[in-house]
Structure 1
């Protein structure tokens, strides 16, 4: 692996021939994995892309992104990142699956591909992932532990009857210096979130909302309300924070099936990013992670209400949102117009970067 430029990229049609060659190598050695590739490689690739976008999913199946590990055009292996867990995945498979083609094993690529997929999991907003392997697969166990895996327990595979080892990897403990991560919010994040909200209101809404509203924002009072709200969150509610070296610099919150915009089943209730961290792609990352979380909860569309005079409206338009509704909102005793931007297909936001 010395001096190699390894890249983890999403599977696409440009990998068609290389994928076919890799799968034939598996089958020549009696390994039937990825059998759908040999049956119809183009249909296989389309199916993986649909899965990543959350399209045409069978009941009980979560969105899953398929990646390939490449070096100088050579395809070395594949990986799958599931965006959420259902009960069956907690027994076997977990969040991440990966494989290295037979001719490239024992060269360190297994450790590398898992490390790169974990970085994608952080971008997705996951702060803890489950990785599994057969208990007799000593090599995979070493790879998982080398990437921070902590053994949890054993289960029995419903498919093979084999004993399976379950490992959890804490992504919040794997933050590189200077890296901004997106993860689920905790109760301890409330003070940081409130500070971001107050700061962004004061930099964004001067001259738009009444001055006394901006002046009277209380960290203590908002914290109290938000702590209670966080404790009462429902399974379909989502709150993500963007963290820069231990400091909350942005957040997104909302939920599935809120239904207050006709025709849209998911809503982004708020997106806030400190001015110092704007125009760095962080807003797009937060929206993408949020949209994927809602899709995993069954949402197929998304909307957000914004003040009509919000100078950041263009951000939502650049993401493909279109105005779909209007209504007044009372802020400080003044009725201010707000506009709902909508995305009929939530999957268009998955690749917002």
Structure 2
């Protein structure tokens, strides 16, 4: 498995993986019409902006996990906000269902945080997760994330939790515990 910075050529594989995994993970959480009709277009806009030439790379850190067959099987995206009260935002962490439970998400976390500047690594990091997404919540809790906020969002409203770590370095340490070297 190769862990590397995302490139513009990763646009289509990232969109496809993001859409597929959201369909799978959120089918019991979000309306089917949204998942089928609106979400794919939203992901195309999001990733086209993030991976476009000249995108604000100072504010983003995006890594992919690439299989030996040179397929993108996972990705992570941090929105870097070290001066925000919540810290930097771990906006996306997805691994293809065919490659889950192999340590790829944890390795993406370790590699992703390792590539951040020392000021960002020393600051808190947070993420949002649907209350009903129990597998993701269990992972974040195993990694020492603390649920620090709970709120409703959307139409129809769904419950979300905000998880936070004292620093990105703490998250990296917890995610790396027990992992073999890459």
State the TM-score, normalizing by the size of structure 1.
0.45
More strand by share: 1
Structure 2: how far apart are the matches of 1:205 and 1:238? 25
SS of residue in 1 equivalent to 2:27: coil
| C-alpha distance 230-243 of structure 1, shift in aligned 2 (>3 A) | same
In the alignment, structure 2 segments of 5+ residues that lack a partner are none
Unpaired runs of 5+ residues, structure 1, are 1-179
Name which of 344, 347, 351 aligns with 2:166: 344
1:239 paired residue number: 62
* Structure 2 SS opposite 1:190: helix
Larger relative contact order (Cα-Cα within 8 Å, sequence gap ≥ 6): 2
TM-fit CA distance, 1:194? 0.6
Once the 2 structures are TM-superposed, how far is the Cα of residue 206 of structure 1 from its aligned partner? 1.3
Aligned runs of 1:200-239 on 2, under 5 Å?
200-216=21-37, 219=40, 222-231=43-52, 232-239=55-62
The structure that has the greater radius of gyration is: 1
8 A Cα contact 1:256 1:297, kept in partner: no
| Contact 1:265 1:299 (C-alpha < 8 Å) held by counterparts | no
1: distance between equivalents of 2:39 and 2:88?
A: 29
For these two proteins, the number of residue pairs brought into alignment is 170
Q: Secondary structure at the match of 1:309?
A: coil
The answer to whether 1:253 aligns with 2:77 is yes
Shift of 1:224: 4.1
Report whether the alignment pairs 1:308 with 2:128.
no
1:192 to 5, 13, 26: 13
Q: CA 1:248/1:309 → structure 2, altered by over 3 Å: closer, same or farther?
A: same
Contact 1:302 1:344 in 2 (8 A): yes
Aligned CA-pair RMSD: 2.0
Q: Conserved in 1, the CA contact under 8 Å of 2:144 and 2:165? A: yes
- Provide the C-alpha distance between the structure 2 equivalents of 1:307 and 1:286, rounded to a whole number of angstroms: 21
Give the TM-score normalised by structure 2. 0.83
